[in-house]
């Protein structure tokens, strides 16, 4: 009998809810796969040893969405502006971020990843790509192409949702 994560083994009545459960099951399986990728990232961060997860999140957000002002960065991370500002100060002090006045407003500070910050992120990404590459070797070429296509499509959808949410 198939196994269902929410209720153990699927019984005879499970087929009637199959359409409703398909979306839930897909979300569950994508979430499981994403946890594997999170673990790969956490392993890479642990081996780097000099960056907290909060600092890494901030650095990644500034790289992916930057340059940003402090309010937008705080919103992107779901942190308070004051906590975000303190973390930005620490990362700027470590040479990983830079702060500069925005061209349109002297009161607004823009935050951007420095060349050293990009080197740190590349070390992290390189370690992740090595681990991911080892797993990808076990897929067929068609499986790799399909996975790549679906993940690109998924990334575009989530990015659009993020853009709408933080616009």
- Residue among 36, 59, 26 nearest 132 (CA): 36
Tens digit of pLDDT for each residue in 48-92?
778 888 999 999 999 998 899 999 999 989 999 999 999 999 999
Q: What is the pTM of this model?
A: 0.73
76, 65 in Cβ contact below 8 A? yes
State yes or no: pLDDT of 19 exceeds 70: no
**Three-state DSSP class for residue 85:** helix
The encoded tokens of residue 109 equal 């500070």
Least confident of 3-17, 114-128, 138-152: 3-17
């Amino acid at each position: 009998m198939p196994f269902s994560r929410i209720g153990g083994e699927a019984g005879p009545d499970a087929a009637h809810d199959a359409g409703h459960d398909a979306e839930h099951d897909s979300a569950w399986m994508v979430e499981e796969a994403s946890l594997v990728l999170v673990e790969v990232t956490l392993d890479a961060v642990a081996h780097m040893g000099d960056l907290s997860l909060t600092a890494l999140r901030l650095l990644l957000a500034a790289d992916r969405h930057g340059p940003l002002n402090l309010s937008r960065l705080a919103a992107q991370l779901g942190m308070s502006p004051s906590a975000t500002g303190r973390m930005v100060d620490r990362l700027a002090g470590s040479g990983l971020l830079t702060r500069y006045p925005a061209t349109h407003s002297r009161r607004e500070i823009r935050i951007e990843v420095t060349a050293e910050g990009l080197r740190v992120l590349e070390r992290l990404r390189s370690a992740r790509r090595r681990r991911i590459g080892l797993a990808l070797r076990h897929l067929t070429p068609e499986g790799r192409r399909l996975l790549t296509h679906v993940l690109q499509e998924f990334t575009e959808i989530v990015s659009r949702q993020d853009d709408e949410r933080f616009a």
